[in-house]
Structure formats: C-alpha cells, structure tokens
C-alpha cells in the first residue's frame, strides 16, 4: 500500500504520536463546492456568494449563511474560503456523479419519496458523489441505523402512490442476513430494495484509490472494519480512517460499478415522474 495522509498530515502506517498542525489553504467558493463548517459540523454545497459571505445548502435543501474566510474543511483538510475572481467556465459542467451539473437552481421542496441506506458512512458516500443530483431532484437520503430495522422502517413509512421508498442494503447476497431480512418485507410497486455485494460500504471504494491492490481479507466472525484497519497497520480511530477514505473519493469513477448501478436505480425509482404523483 502506498502511503497517504490523514487530516493532520500523518501517514496512515506511521507511528508518530505527534501529528503536524494543519495549515489552511485558500479555496475559491465556486457553486457546487462542498465544504464543512468546523464549528458546527454543517456540511453543504456553495450555492451563492454575496457581499456578506457564502450561502451553503445541505443535502436536505436547507440553506445557511457563513462568512468567508478560514474555518472550513474540504475532504478533512482545513481551507479558507475566498471570493471567486475568475469568470465561470463556459460549457457544460459535470457533477461528481457524472451527470450534467445544474447551476443556480432554486431549492426544491423535498419529495415525499425517500431513499434509505444502512448507516452514516453509506449516507456520506452517497452525498459525496450524488449530493448535487439529490438536491436538484429534491430527494432526501436517510439512515436505517442497520438492516435489522428494515421491516419497521418500511411499515412506519407507509409507502403508497406519490410516496415511494427505495432502500439500499450492504452485503445483499445469497444466504446473508441482509437478504433474509429483505425477504421478510412485504413488497409493493412503491417499495424497491436493492443492495451491493460488499460487507461494508467501505469496500465500494475502489482499492486503487487508496493505493491498495485489494481490500484485506478478514475472516468471518471478526469485525470487518477493525480487521481491515489492523491489517493495514492503522493506529487511529475508525472514524479517522473513514474520513480519509471518503476524502479520496472525488467522482463516481472512484467507486465500484456494483454500487453505482444500485444508487442510480434508486434515484430513478423515487423520481419517476409517472409514479411520483399521489
């Protein structure tokens, strides 16, 4: 594995207990740029820059204003947002998912239909790549909290015409627990349950993006994330490792096709204009 740095400038496989203090770099606040406010943890895409500062929009379509300057993160690295000086590029702009970016779009009221994914990491990865598309379409992505809650979530959601539910599960393969749980849910034309073959959504990130030939093999019965990090020699926290992995993902090309197809399928399902009307 080739070396890579976490947000504090420390290589994953080194044992230095004294990471370097991060130094902010300047970043132009261009539309579509996704940043995190350090103090509040608010994550959103730049939708407007005015004389007062920058306006960010989160994945639920909610907007907040912040002053330009330091105090933001991009992919786990500190940045100072500055006013753009160069004119916008002409021609089509492409979003991280590969779709044509829609600039200066107004926030759309969220659809009644929803997409659910298993956990926080799944939701963050979907937001990182498909966030622009989801905001344009008014689609909210929520967390199941685990596949064990699938039946209860579907029952509580009460899918019906104009209120579709799409669900993506990890490790949806023959004989898995997730497959057995999915089989207990009463299906309808308003529910779509899909899944990828990976034990954890981390595996949906192409190993080459992280300088790996392949994700380490972890014996059945051993916690997968912890087993992977042990085999990679990671000494930090699990959340730090995920922040690094997520920071390496910039476009859909960094993900495995098995995940790409399932997310696109869910977005198409909950935004189908022929079935989204009550």
What is the spatial distance between Cα 260 and Cα 96, in angstroms, rounded to a whole number? 12
Rounded alpha-carbon distances, angstroms, from residue 175 to 11, 171, 178, 182? 38, 10, 8, 11
How does strand 140-143 pair with strand 114-117? parallel
Q: How high is the pLDDT of residue 8? A: 30
List the pLDDT tens digit at each of the 278 positions of the chain. 333 333 333 334 333 344 455 677 898 888 878 888 888 888 888 888 877 788 888 777 788 888 888 889 887 788 999 988 755 444 455 667 666 566 655 656 788 999 999 999 999 999 999 988 888 888 999 999 888 989 999 999 999 999 999 999 999 999 999 999 999 887 788 999 999 999 999 999 999 989 999 999 999 899 999 999 999 998 889 999 999 999 989 888 889 999 999 999 999 999 987 664 44
Angle at 270 between CA 267 and CA 46, to 5 degrees: 55
For the chain, strand residue ranges (E) read: 25-28, 34-37, 43-49, 54-57, 63-66, 69-74, 77-82, 114-117, 140-143, 165-169, 191-195
> What is the pLDDT, as a whole number, of residue 207?
92
Q: Which two tokens stand for residue 205?
A: 């990130």
Please, are residues 5 and 60 in contact by the beta-carbon 8 Å criterion? Answer: no
CA–CA separation, 272 vs 266, rounded Å? Answer: 10
Q: Taking the mean position of all CA atoms in its chain, how far away is CA 131? A: 7
CATH number for domain 91-205+249-271, candidates 3.30.43, 3.40.1360, 2.70.98, 3.40.50? 3.40.1360
| Dist. CA 34–CA 46, nearest whole Å | 6
Residue 243 C-alpha from the chain's centroid: 11
**Dist CA 182 CA 178 (whole Å):** 6
How far, in whole angstroms, is CA 143 from its chain's centroid? 12
What are residue 28's DSSP bridge partners?
82
The radius of gyration of the chain from alpha carbons, rounded to an integer in Å, stands at 20
């Amino acid at each position: 594995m080739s070396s890579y740095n976490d947000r504090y400038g420390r290589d994953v496989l080194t044992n230095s207990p004294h990471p370097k203090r991060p130094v902010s770099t300047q970043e132009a606040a261009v539309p579509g740029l996704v940043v995190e406010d350090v103090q509040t943890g608010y994550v959103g895409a730049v939708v407007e820059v005015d004389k007062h500062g920058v306006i960010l929009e989160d994945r639920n379509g909610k907007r907040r204003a912040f002053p330009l300057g330091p105090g933001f993160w991009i992919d786990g690295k500190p940045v100072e947002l500055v006013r753009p000086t160069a004119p916008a590029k002409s021609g089509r702009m492409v979003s991280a998912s590969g779709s044509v970016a829609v600039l200066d779009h107004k926030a759309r009221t969220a659809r009644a239909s929803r997409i659910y994914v298993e956990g926080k990491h799944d939701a963050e990865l979907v937001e990182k790549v498909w966030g622009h598309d989801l905001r344009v379409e008014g689609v909210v992505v929520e967390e199941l909290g685990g596949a064990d809650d699938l039946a209860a979530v579907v029952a509580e959601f009460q899918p019906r015409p104009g209120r579709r539910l799409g669900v993506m599960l990890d490790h949806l393969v023959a004989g898995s627990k997730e497959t057995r749980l999915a089989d207990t849910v009463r299906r309808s034309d308003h529910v779509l349950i899909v899944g990828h073959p990976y034990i954890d959504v981390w595996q949906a990130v192409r190993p080459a993006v992280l300088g790996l030939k392949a994700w380490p093999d972890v014996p059945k019965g051993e916690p997968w994330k912890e087993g992977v990090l042990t085999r990679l020699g990671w000494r930090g926290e699990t959340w730090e490792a995920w922040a690094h992995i997520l920071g390496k993902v910039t476009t859909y090309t960094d993900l495995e096709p098995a995940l790409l197809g399932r997310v696109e399928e869910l977005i198409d399902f909950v935004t189908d204009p022929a079935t989204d009307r009550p």
